[in-house]
Amino acid sequence: MAGRRKLLAAVAVALSVSCGPSPDRGGALPASSQEVEFERERRQMVEEQIEARGIADPRVLDAMRRVPRHEFVPPEYRAAAYADRPLPIGLEQTISQPYIVALMTELIRPEAEDRILEVGTGSGYQAAVAAELVAEVFSIEILPELAQSAAARLERLGVSNVVVRAGDGYLGWPEHGPFDGILVTAGADHIPEPLVEQLEPGGRMVIPVGDVSTFQILKVVEKLPGGEIEIQDITPVRFVPLRRR
Ligand code: SAH
């Protein structure tokens, strides 16, 4: 009885902690002691891997605390869901390291009314994190099987402001552009021109560019209000390749 009361108290604490400004988005409400443990791991992940490396935007940190990363990895990797590394998601693809997801999200400078494009839906995790912070996320995945499973997962978790489609993200999604921000989560050997075109003046694209078989440099491509392009190098990264059909 006492044990059960303690557990209920822990769930209540976790609930009050997980309910940020948008308690019903993200589907992150813990329903069992396992969920409470995942919540604890998530707080630790944010503190030790993300804040410790200099990510400071409180909205980004909150989003990383809310989105249940363990729901986005295959069952056999759940125990490692909050570890400081990328994990396999099948079909030779990976969910990025939590820090990189937080960094990319911070770099696009998300605003509540923004509409953003993601290239490389994968598990849907990065899309779900961004969806906590902006109005709408349009996400394109080249492997139809992954596009389908990510869409189903996001729906099950109650994430309603992400639209996923299968297709070649190199070409962007002109019907919904221009975008306030673009996140490219696969490594490219050059900056795709269609994506630059679909960036709103004042908008920012974050993209890994380099040798797709070794490593890339994470870059911020900013379209200034007058339309000029400014490119900034951030840090070396390793992503799976951006492919063409
Ligand atoms: N953002 C994902 C991780 C992406 S891994 C997450 O949070 O889980 C990179 C993904 O990009 C892979 O799923 C890969 O299939 C996809 N991809 C590769 N080339 C692509 C292209 N041209 N258009 C869209 N998706 C692409």
pLDDT digits (tens, 9 = 90+) for 208-217: 999 999 999 9
Residue 10 reports pLDDT greater than 60: no
Q: Is residue 58 part of a domain?
A: yes
Q: Is residue 245 part of a domain?
A: no
Ligand 1 atom nearest the C-alpha of 244 is 22
pLDDT tops 60 at residue 105: yes
Which residue among the candidates 18, 96, 139, 149 is catalytic per the annotation? Answer: 96
Q: Is 160 a catalytic residue?
A: no
**Does ligand 1 come within 6 angstroms of the Cβ of 237?**
no
* Domain assignment of residue 17, yes or no: no
Q: Identify the band that residue 23 occupies on the pLDDT scale cut at 50, 70 and 90.
A: very low
Ligand 1 atom nearest to CA at 139: 24
CB 128 within 8 Å of CB 22: no
* Residue range 34-40: mean pLDDT, rounded: 94
Give the list of residues 6+ apart from residue 150 with CB closer than 8 angstroms, or none.
121, 122, 123, 124, 127, 139, 141, 164
User: What is the model's pLDDT at position 118?
Assistant: 98
In Å, what is the CA distance from 146 to each residue of 77, 151, 242?
Answer: 17, 8, 15
pLDDT at 25: 43
Task: Give this prediction's pTM.
Answer: 0.88
Q: Which two tokens stand for residue 124?
A: 């849907």
pLDDT at 16 over 70: no
**Residue 13: inside a domain:** no
Across the range 83-89, mean pLDDT stands at 97
Q: Which atom belonging to ligand 1 lies closest to the Cα atom of 96?
A: 3
Predicted confidence at residue 31, as pLDDT, reads 65
8 Å CB contact between 183 and 130: yes
CA of 223 to the centre of ligand 1 (A): 23
What is the 147 CA–ligand 1 centroid distance (Å)? 9
User: Which pLDDT band, with edges at 50, 70 and 90, does 233 fall under?
Assistant: very high
Residue 244 lies in a domain: no
Say if ligand 1 is within 6 A of residue 141 CB: yes
pLDDT at 187 over 50: yes
Name the domain count of the chain.
Answer: 1
Whole-number Å distance, alpha carbon 54 to ligand 1 midpoint, is 26
Rounded average pLDDT over 111-139: 98
Is 4 part of a structural domain of the chain? no
Q: Which residues pair with 95 in a beta bridge?
A: 87
* Number of the ligand 1 atom closest to the C-alpha atom of 150: 8
**Whose CA is closest to atom 23 on ligand 1?**
169
Task: Look up the CATH number of the domain holding residue 203.
Answer: 3.40.50.150
- Mean pLDDT value of segment 127-147: 98
Q: How far is the CA of 171 from the centre of ligand 1 (A)?
A: 14
Q: What's the mean per-residue pLDDT of the chain? A: 90
Q: Is residue 141 part of a domain?
A: yes
Ligand 1 centre distance from Cα of residue 72 (Å): 14
Residue pLDDT, tens place only, 143-173: 999 999 999 999 999 999 999 999 999 999 9
Place of tokens 């200099």: 54
Percent of the chain with pLDDT over 70: 87
Of all protein residues, the one whose alpha carbon is nearest to atom 17 of ligand 1 is: 120
Residue 90 has pLDDT above 90, yes or no: yes
Nearest CA to ligand 1 atom 18: 242
Domain that holds residue 63: 31-237
